[in-house]
Amino acid sequence: QKEVEQNSGPLSVPEGAIASLNCTYSDRGSQSFFWYRQYSGKSPELIMSIYSNGDKEDGRFTAQLNKASQYVSLLIRDSQPSDSATYLCAVYTATGGGNKLTFGTGTQLKVEL
Amino acid sequence: GAVVSQHPSWVICKSGTSVKIECRSLDFQATTMFWYRQFPKQSLMLMATSNEGSKATYEQGVEKDKFLINHASLTLSTLTVTSAHPEDSSFYICSARQGARGGQYFGPGTRLTVT
């Protein structure tokens, strides 16, 4: 089982719709969770962090965390073509040498006009 | 958010030569920096964790003698690809962590092409 799993997509949504991106993780002890956006040919950009169960909103983005289900999601409201990118879920997992940020393989989002 | 810079943004070098890539945290001190490599249409692969003032920790399968990492200050880490070969051509990205639980902020990446 992969440590952080995401559906690779592509996930296609029409402009103005809500895009829902999901991620599951295997380390039950994980405490910190992040969403990154990566445009093609560019490096990842941190867009959301969440540490507690529930929802965290920032502009059009809402991160949701459910530690009991080991599930974290990202909602993008009023999706725009500029939101088209790969979204990476990242989780701090404990290793012998300390905590390591483990990335999922990413979900490609396409927002269509 | 925090700013991390990388230099150069792209480099072309001949096979057998060495290339140094710099990573700087511009507005915060980073005791820990990370080096990743990403091949086209693949996910990020962590190469090593760089700790200020101590030896880097390399991931399994990454040759420490080929990828030399130095983290001489709280704002600068360098990656030197020694005796580069065409298969080392990739997108190299550094990141720096702000605080013990904070997210990692990525530099813009360095695209290396070895001819």
End-to-end CA separation in angstroms for chain A: 37
Of B57, B103, B108, the CB nearest to A46: B103
Q: Which amino acid is at A66?
A: N
Bridge partner residues of A111 (DSSP): A13
Interface of A with B in 26-45 (CB under 8 A): 31-32, 34, 36, 41-45
Tokens of A100: 């390591």
Q: Which long-range contacts (C-beta less than 8 Å, at least 24 apart) are formed by A38-44?
A: A38/A85, A38/A86, A38/A87, A38/A88, A38/A106, A39/A85, A39/A86, A40/A85, A40/A86, A41/B91, A42/B108, A42/B109, A43/B91, A43/B93, A43/B106, A43/B107, A43/B108, A43/B109, A44/A88, A44/B44, A44/B93, A44/B106
Over the stretch A62-108, which tens digit does the pLDDT of each residue have? Answer: 999 999 999 999 999 999 999 999 999 999 877 665 678 889 999 99
Dihedral angle sign, alpha carbons of residues B12, B14, B15, B17: negative
Over the stretch A27-74, which tens digit does the pLDDT of each residue have? Answer: 998 989 999 999 999 999 999 999 999 999 999 999 999 999 999 999
